[in-house]
Structure 1
């Protein structure tokens, strides 16, 4: 299926979704490079998947194998993203598990606006911005040394957001997007271990958030040191939804080979049915109990006289009570009660023999 180009994606603008425009996207990819052979990148608000697909293409052109992972809340956009990304989940980001430090690049263009206010809360505290909520929820998926591409309205960069960025990222650079319909800016960064923020970096981001850097437009050709996406070691990492709807489950089952879902399928069910051999000696009650407990006594059986039963075997544990009396030298009598476990085999059946007893339940014990 062809990608929905960003210039056409305005038809999908709803629920705070503002897709990355083509001009901004093409300038972003010129600032990226690779620092490994196998990369994993994430867009937690991937929309129809066009932006992350383009980023993955650009990194692949640098010689790396790239796995693209996306999450989208809107069903229509999510199912389109499944056709262009390696892994795409239709879910709320709050219901998705992403392993910490499992991604080499985080492409984050979150929903814009205020979160829904809690009517029960008191005080003058305003509801938090969606951009901050999504950033806090997802930035820890980046590995140390991983690259952040953050696209938000520039006025969201207040003191709180600037401090959060500066505490967790190095090489922070602010640029205005070439398309200014939504007053977007692009912030690049490289994740580091959380530390005290550099005051000059915080001040620069706050000033940019006040509109004092509107002339710093993202260049068409990146001339500074590129942001190299690192390779992620340690397997595939965790990327899954804690709840999945029936449509996605059916799609995953159809996509994956059954033996991949259960590698031992052939071992348990692939053996050819052979002729049953009788035991060497007559089975005792213990053998019968084991056979019943293992579910080996079941099905339709017919006696030599023609009686037909549908049987199901079972085993339950009973206790056998015995009493021992002992007399001491002084004539005192003591009583000892002993309870011994005993496994009792039981076969219950439904009589399928035509006649007056048809349908009756019988117990063999």
Structure 2
């Protein structure tokens, strides 16, 4: 059998992507069959370019099989969308998918230990070694319907007692084989999902569990997948027992936003329903005229929002308020009785209003732009160019979930407020902005480094670093642990 969509990346790792090799895929497909009648739903939650799940659909019957795919990488997801029925470009942990709606789960997850900032770490359930393979197994198991078929492709050394117990508790008719391509030491586990009380007898279950553990510890080698035509077993993929009602990404990306705008022929079907206050609520006069402080607090709390017209300036703004928590640090020094200098650091949580406005003034140069409303004067001209601004995975994880606003930190960095750094580092930054000329009259700028104290509740670290390279080509935002 030749692949319908051969790709160069099929047989080697590409940016952490380990596609199933062609021979292993062919031999796995020889072990699964479709039901005699009925529609079938199959899913690959780490689909890559979508080739594997597309081959599954073709093998089971393209007319009665619906292939669903989830892929995080934009380029690979774009290709997967062309060969699957439904494809989400999303992190699997950021999806909402109907449970027990799929007759086959093709699981070839990312390989590796979980970092502290891995999406889904908080939901990870387990006491053993935290691995991405285990996280994806936990997240996707509920998607598989009972009597459904699991195809689990992972490195053999990941099989420990914890994962072996999970598999033998959730599946029966289990089989484990060695992949044809030995590059990544992969094994293929097949099984049929059943309720825990229906798993095989304790003796059989323990024997297979110990076999998995021995394979993981390299004390035992799994048999190689039988060649096509020599299969001694067959897994029947059951027909769908429910519709896939939910299959979407929770957070919205730019492409989804564009699709929604096109579908609704605008941002909202009814603008007033979203932004205008309802006339049904009784309006009460405040006890006293609202001061600027009252107005700012109400805006920041979201109590006042909607379309605001200014009779004086003629401007029209759509206003929405929010608040975020920041941390301020105060350092005090004092001398003890013996003349020693004692440093006392006090961290205080403060709630910062963040009022945004959408300028809808016709004919204005700012029409359509998002503005920030603040009681602070306009910031001075930046002292230098940031270049291309990039953030590490850890920072991106925090920002995407709304736990951190980077703009105030970048503004401080641009204004020469280097944050919480030593005095000599502060002077080094200032000297890098205005370097002294050398003997030849040439001056060379240096690298700029800032460190800001932030809330460590969601990052596990109390600082954010910002580094601008000496040539001002790139500015990197990172956690200290990622340096």
Q: TM-score, normalised by structure 2?
A: 0.49
Distance 1:316 1:83, change over 3 A: closer
* Alignment RMSD: 3.2
Matched, 1:19 2:15: no
Q: Which residue of 2 aligns with 1:71?
A: 70
Matched, 1:53 2:57: no
1:136 alignment partner, one of 138, 141, 159: 138
Q: The residue matched to 1:145 in structure 2 has which SS?
A: strand
Contact kept in structure 2, 1:4 and 1:48, CA below 8 Å: no
Contact kept in structure 1, 2:70 and 2:77, CA below 8 Å: yes
With a CA cutoff of 8 Å and minimum separation of 6, indicate the structure with the bigger relative contact order. Answer: 1
Q: Which residue of 2 aligns with 1:220?
A: 227
Q: TM-score, normalised by structure 1?
A: 0.64
Contact kept in structure 2, 1:6 and 1:20, CA below 8 Å: no
Higher CA-based Rg: 1
Using the TM superposition, give the Cα deviation of residue 234 of structure 1 relative to its aligned residue in structure 2, in angstroms: 2.5
Which has the larger displacement, 19-28 or 213-222? Answer: 213-222
Q: Which residue of 1 aligns with 2:473?
A: none
Q: The residue matched to 1:82 in structure 2 has which SS?
A: helix
Structure 1 stretches of 4+ moved >6 Å: 314-319
Contact kept in structure 1, 2:30 and 2:231, CA below 8 Å: no
Distance 1:237 1:318, change over 3 A: closer
Alignment of 1:170-319 (within 5 A): 170-195=172-197, 198-214=205-221, 216-221=223-228, 222-251=230-259
Using the TM superposition, give the Cα deviation of residue 172 of structure 1 relative to its aligned residue in structure 2, in angstroms: 0.6
Distance 1:189 1:233, change over 3 A: same
Flag the structure with higher strand content: 1
Q: Which residue of 1 aligns with 2:116?
A: 117
Q: The residue matched to 2:61 in structure 1 has which SS?
A: helix
Distance 1:235 1:102 in 2: 7
Contact kept in structure 2, 1:153 and 1:184, CA below 8 Å: yes
Q: The residue matched to 2:175 in structure 1 has which SS?
A: strand
Contact kept in structure 2, 1:17 and 1:110, CA below 8 Å: no
Q: Which residue of 1 aligns with 2:90?
A: 91
Distance 1:105 1:136 in 2: 16
Once the two structures are superposed, what CA deviation does each residue of 1:9-68 show, in whole Å capped at 9, x if it has no partner?
Answer: 357611x3211111111111111101242000010000010110011100016xx61111
Distance 2:211 2:164 in 1: 9
Using the TM superposition, give the Cα deviation of residue 212 of structure 1 relative to its aligned residue in structure 2, in angstroms: 4.1
Unaligned regions of 5+ residues in structure 2, if any?
271-278, 285-310, 312-483
Q: Which residue of 1 aligns with 2:300?
A: none
Distance 1:86 1:251, change over 3 A: farther
